[in-house]
Amino acid sequence: MNAPARLTPLHDQHLAAGARMVNFAGWDMPVNYGSQIAEHHAVRRRAGMFDVSHMLALDLTGTDATPFLRQLLANDVARLRQPGKALYSCMLNKNGGVIDDLIVYRLADDDYRLVVNAGTADKDLAWMRSRIAAAGANVTLQGRRDLAMIAVQGPQARELFGTALPQLREATMVLAPFVGTRVGEAFIGRTGYTGEDGLELALPAAEAATAWQALAAAGIAPCGLGARDTLRLEAGMNLYGQDMDESVSPLDAGLAWTVDLRDESRDFVGREALARNPATKRLLGLVLEAPGVLRAHMPVHTDAGAGETSSGSFSPTLEKAIAFARLPLDVEPGDRVSVDVRGKLLPARVVKLPFVRNGEALI
């Protein structure tokens, strides 16, 4: 018998707003509040907000925090010299597969905040604890399920956020991109998953409903998982479990830029496997040039060999079907390929990712 879906601290707010709820990674989450396309456009043109409390914030503290993370992650936290600066990284297994992708903020040499995916949170915690034990590292790892998290995204996100939550306005308006800061019990990062400017707010769960209501009253549209997926797809951002997982190397998933090999003495988990197994595919975008819908796991036929889509959907911004595809290394942006869509070969154009950034079409 399946366990009942878990509820975020904002669950009642979603029901009151008439959200259509679905089970996502074991959590009862809103997929939309009416029109998914309207929610998508709200983020591209003004501001929208997402309940991301199903994701897990982790606090890693201790004198060995920095050397431990340098060994744990494929990207190098030694690059984080400014307090609050954030880094995107994959956490790899010994075979070079992706256990999870995450954001890590360096608040001090002995104080980090990480945010991991909902579906991998338990696995991530177990893996990190096993690595702490193996290294004998002097660190403490704390999962923060006492927090709720709200992402506010869009060209007017920061201004409207400051209007809704004036007590956080001063700290918010001075934040540089990809930097986070603590304000009392709250944590604010100028990060996101949409390709737009915006903020991600973590705050005590008991304060979440009041903050959500204030943000809505300021004109920020509640948005669900459906819009979040089309936004991140347009922005060229990978989704764990579709575009990469423990069987996929970051080198084949378009994430080689997150693997820092500059310090040859830094022996992070998976480094040796990546050195033995160079990329065999490259992740590129596809734009369908015929009526149809692109989804994951569709075969792609190219002059250089076979490929496969990993994510796909209709792009509300471009008004076209788009996809990510892992393609042979010789395929280049501008090439024409064919996608097997339910047994029919449909023409598509290969493009460089992302498709859209900061509201502007890039293809």
Q: 123 in the Ramachandran plot: left (φ > 0), alpha (ψ -120 to 50) or beta?
A: alpha
Biggest CA-to-CA distance, the chain: 58
- 287 bridge partner residues: 322, 349
Task: Please report the DSSP string for 250-284 in residue order.
Answer: TTTTT-GGG---S-TT---TTHHHHHHS--SEEEE
What structural domains does the chain harbor? 1-238+265-278 (3.30.1360.120), 281-361 (2.40.30.110)
C-alpha of 11 from chain center:
21
User: What is the model's pLDDT at position 2?
Assistant: 72
Whole-angstrom Cα distance, residue 334 to residue 354? 14
Whether a cis peptide bond, with omega within 30° of 0, leads into 83 is: no
Whether the full predicted model's pTM is greater than 0.95, yes or no, is: yes
> Which tokens sit at 115?
């945010």
Total count of residues recorded for the chain: 363
pLDDT beneath 70: ranges in the chain: 1
